[in-house]
Amino acid sequence: MWTWSEICNFFKPIPIKPVTVQPLLPQPVPNTSLTLPQCGIDLIKQVEGFRPSAYLDTRGIPTIGYGHTKGIRIGDTCTSAQAEAWLKFDVTWAWEAVCRNVKVPLTSYQGGALLSFVFNLGEPQFKDSGVLRELNLGNYGLVPSEIGKWVWETLPDKTRRINQGLVNRRKLEADLWKNNDWRVS
């Protein structure tokens, strides 16, 4: 049998340490204040080249203008004004991907280099790239060499090879990043 004092001791409140709640740290703000960099659009136009008639790209996708693919069929044609309008529409997702994923400040030239890079590569690959990792660590000087690593293409038989067109494009993107101008090459 328990005594009354034993029962009271058994149900004695356990002292609880006060919990200190840390305030939420401010999250890095994406580069939403940057406007779509014209230097990146100009670089894309240079490397994609204007093609008024639809053609199959290296992956077999019908393409026209400055790399536009949505709803294109072989036999389609376009004007340069139409191609420019498509390009400005097409790069919007790439610019949004840059703004969403980059957590450090960018110059418009750096943004332009990344715009071209992401437009060509795609957001999933960009998110997993050393380019983004080094940039978000603040290692701006390593970004050009990281960009230069993305020159491989996968062929239909799943083998990989260096694509000279990608080598050339990555050099121009790195030049824009470093020199504020891709035409220095």
Non-local (6+) Cβ contacts of 166 within 8 A are 120, 150, 151, 152, 153
Distance, CA of 128 to CA of 24 (rounded, Å)? 26
Active-site option among 42, 48, 76, 175: 48
| Known active-site residue 123 | no
DSSP SS3 for 34? coil
Instruction: Report residue 153 CA to chain centroid gap.
Output: 18
Count Cβ atoms within 10 A of the Cβ of residue 30 and give its class: 0-12 exposed, 13-18 middle, 19 or more buried.
middle
Active-site option among 6, 57, 84, 90: 57
Distance, CA of 127 to CA of 119 (rounded, Å)? 13
CB atoms within 10 A of CB 1: 3
| Known active-site residue 42 | no
Residues forming the active site: 48, 57
